[in-house]
Chain A
Amino acid sequence: MTAYVVRRLIAVLPVMLVVATVSFVLIRLAPGDPASVIAGPYASAEDIAQMQRALGLDQPLPVQLVKWWGRLARGDLGDSIFLRRPVIEAILERLEPTLLLTGWSMLVAVLVGIPVGVLSARYHNTVLDQSFMALALLGLSVPNFLLGLLMILCFGVWLGWLPVAGYATLETGIWPNLRSLIMPALALGLVQSALIARITRSSMLDVLREQYILSGRSKGLSERTVIYKHALKNAIIPTLTVIGITFALLVGGAVVIETVFNIPGLGRLIISAVLRRDYPVVQGVVLLIAVTYTAINLLVDLAYLAIDPRIRFR
């Protein structure tokens, strides 16, 4: 088991190296010289040369790449060009809303997705199952930002129940904070719950066909025990995998949803950085998200160990 954990940890290293390299290369895709873009259209040749030196762009590419790796290893993401401060500071400042939004959406996605999937499997081929699956298909077909806009229209503009947009920080109290996150979290979470429901349903259906389910039923266990104790425990593994994927989709979705609801999180930060061509900020946010995603997938893999003893012996 320790060997498995160590093997998984080692396997992450090359991925991290590639992630760091990709985020370096992304910036070099820009047509022309980043220094001249940063210096602006009215900069003199001398200004541009100075900017190149300041950014280390006058050195050969491999040297720049190795330096970039070294800086990352020390946790240094560089300075924002526009905000004139360390990227890491700007990120930390914007972290709260994105973390809360992602967390709440994940909760919505799991708390809606898993029960819907289990019920659909239990009442397979009934009206309930079919309507749940039709809804799930609809959920997969609505972009989250569109669902957000429709919710604003319905609950914000027409019914006036919830704020149309904006974000109340945690400091203003838990209730205002929650109120400002209800619609964004639902818009994001409900769309994701569709995927979780589909996976849970299909893996439940597979498990319910197993012999031990039949023997459980024939020895007189209640349907409730069979479904929740024996079937669900075994069916949850594929769902766990999807929850890892869901995290990526939620963070990606949060970036879009933040624009819909005017929430000052990482999403607004990266979009405004793209529009201002503030490359270090784009690079930093993208890198942070990729590293977090990789870490979550690692945790999901390790969670299998806790749930499924069969994996320990591999």
Chain B
Amino acid sequence: MRKPFAITLDPGSSLANHTGSWRTLRPVYVDRLPPCNHACPAGENIQGWLFRAESGEYEAAWRALSEDNPLPAVMGRVCYHPCESACNRAQLDAAVGINSVERFLGDEALRRGWKFAPPAAASGKRVLVVGAGPSGLSAAYHLARMGHAVSIHEAGPVAGGMMRFGIPKYRLPRDVLEAEVRRIVDLGVELKLNAKVDHILKTMRAGAFDAAFLAVGAHIGKRTSIPAGASARILDAVSVLRSMEGEEKPLLGRRVVVYGGGNTAIDMARTAKRLGATDAIIVYRRTREKMPAHDFEVEEALQEGVMIKWLSTIKQAGEGALVVEKMRLDETGFPQPTGELETLEADSLVLALGQDVDLSLLENVPGLEVDGGVVKVGPNMMTGHAGIFAGGDMVPSERTVTVAVGHGKKAARHIDAWLRGTAYEKPPAHALAKFEKLNTWYYSDAPKTLLPVLDAVRRQSTFDEVQGGLDESSAQFEARRCLSCGNCFECDNCYGMCPDNAVIKRGPGQRFEFNYDYCKGCGVCAAECPCGAIEMVPEEI
């Protein structure tokens, strides 16, 4: 072999030098659980669908979203968005407006007529769903997509449950609700209206159902014993809100007092204002901090001229007036009477003190247990009677639309497994993506986009929707405020900043992998990963 003067070796590449053996720490790609996903009662993969929305793939985003929740346009209006309370971005500037992006996607889907993918192969099993509220609709949707034949029996004349008969129009326009219900029915779900189930076992037998999901909700307004004169006009909020859906609007008078401190009380007072009441007054026995209603709704109600009497109870109801007693909070935060009385003029008193469940369809069901007015269910949402599952407001839980939708999904998974003779195993959850894991240097400064709000005058007199939606560019802007906590969004930092070219870029959507032959374990990739999706683990030496 001829070589130049004084040369004895052939030229070689440093690739022969496997510097990976220097490593004491090994970088590993991980997916962590974003706090929004963790907080979502409906179990949405929020970071996942925002990722699609960021690049303008709205249909893909909507499909990812509706994998878990078939009612995005509804949810984008009525959800109390615990995701936003958990959002890591709140520690930078303000939480990502997840709810408004969800609404945009939901509305976009309706506008463009996107349909759900048809169900998988038919399983041959029949499932009865009792109640067409959020929980029942959610369960029906998931069960249908799993290939089961689903029939919803709804006692009322229209579907929607509390979304229809509890939530006022100014928060949820009915055409939006109807369109999202229709899309579920279009999957092949049978919807029977005015079909009250009197006895669950009989109905199951008659329809040859293999399993049932009960989701009748809680529709009976709680009463309290208030000494009242014969002429006092006392109503309950659930009935009044329900009658808003009929032809005959309820007659409440000019001065309306609402008793209670939950979201229903707020809805009731705002509805009264819109019906023409000059005064809509909420009487609540504790303070604003203790009020169960969500603060932004209290705020909106106050803007519309609703008045709230804190630390007050109603002692007596008479014609045209109420006797109210002042309260004070004791050391434990519980209200105690002070004996101080005052008179409050009122044409009607509406009670919003919570709701009970109509359990009449469950009489004589072996094994089924009721506790405190609600049905007991196991971790798999099944009641004590095999094959009968329950969810939504009729089981012990927080009573919101989002929780109900989550119940529907969870129950559907367990019903599906039960019908197949197996048990549903929840995949292990990733570790939480905490703020401390992020490298926030890399995120652009971007304040939250505010939603347009209807002006106060129109809010006091009409049932037009109060909150507007985002247009496309603001929705995309808002989606792009997402930090993608704990999940790689392909920013190329690891690939670009490795001093040893030991990160392999696999191409769009394919993420990256480490080349451990050359990775020296310096940890720059993990330190500079914006979203905390790389972990350094000790190497076994």
Q: Do these two chains interact?
A: no
Residues on B lying within 8 angstroms of A by beta carbon are: none
